[in-house]
Amino acid sequence: MYIPDLLPRLLGGDRRALARAISLAEQGGPASRALLAAVYPHTGQAHVVGITGPPGAGKSTLVNALALEWRRRDRTVGIVAVDPTSPFSGGAVLGDRIRMQPLGGDPGVFIRSMASRGRLGGLSRATADAVALIDAAGFQVVIIETVGAGQGEVDIARTAQTTIVVEVPGMGDDVQSIKAGVLEIADLFVVNKADREGADKTVRQLRSMQRLGAPPADGWEPPVLPAVATSGQGITEIVESAGQHAVHLRAGGGADARARATAEGELRAAVQELAIERLRGPAWDALVAQIAARQNNPYSAAEELLRGL
| Binding site residues, ligand GTP, CB under 6 A | 55-61, 83, 85-86, 97, 147, 192-193, 195-196, 228-230
Q: Measure the CA–CA gap between 244 and 221, rounded to whole angstroms.
A: 12
Q: For the chain, how long is the longest CA-to-CA vector?
A: 63
Options 86, 113, 163, 262; binder of Mg ion; rule CB under 5 A? 86
Could you say whether residue 241 binds Mg ion (CB under 5 A)? no
Residue 132 vs 147, nearer CB to ligand GTP:
147
Of the listed pieces 15-23, 85-93, 160-168, 243-251, which binds Mg ion according to CB under 5 A? 85-93
Q: Which does 159 bind (CB under 5 to 8 A by kind): ligand GTP, Mg ion, none?
A: none
Could you say whether residue 60 binds Mg ion (CB under 5 A)? yes
Q: Which does 195 bind (CB under 5 to 8 A by kind): Mg ion, ligand GTP, none?
A: ligand GTP
Burial class (CB in 10 A: 0-12, 13-18, 19+), 9: middle
Asked if 212 and 178 count as a contact pair (C-beta separation under 8 A), the reply is no
Residue 28 vs 152, nearer CB to ligand GTP:
152
Residue 227 vs 287, nearer CB to ligand GTP:
227
Residue 113 vs 205, nearer CB to Mg ion:
113
Task: Name which of 138, 154, 185, 120 is nearest 265 in CA terms.
Answer: 154
- Least distance from Mg ion to the Cβ atom of residue 54, Å: 11
Q: Which amino acid is at 147?
A: V
Q: Measure the CA–CA gap between 1 and 5, rounded to whole angstroms.
A: 6
Asked if 38 and 7 count as a contact pair (C-beta separation under 8 A), the reply is yes
Q: Measure the CA–CA gap between 51 and 25, rounded to whole angstroms.
A: 22
Q: Which residues bind Mg ion (CB under 5 A)?
A: 59-60, 83, 86
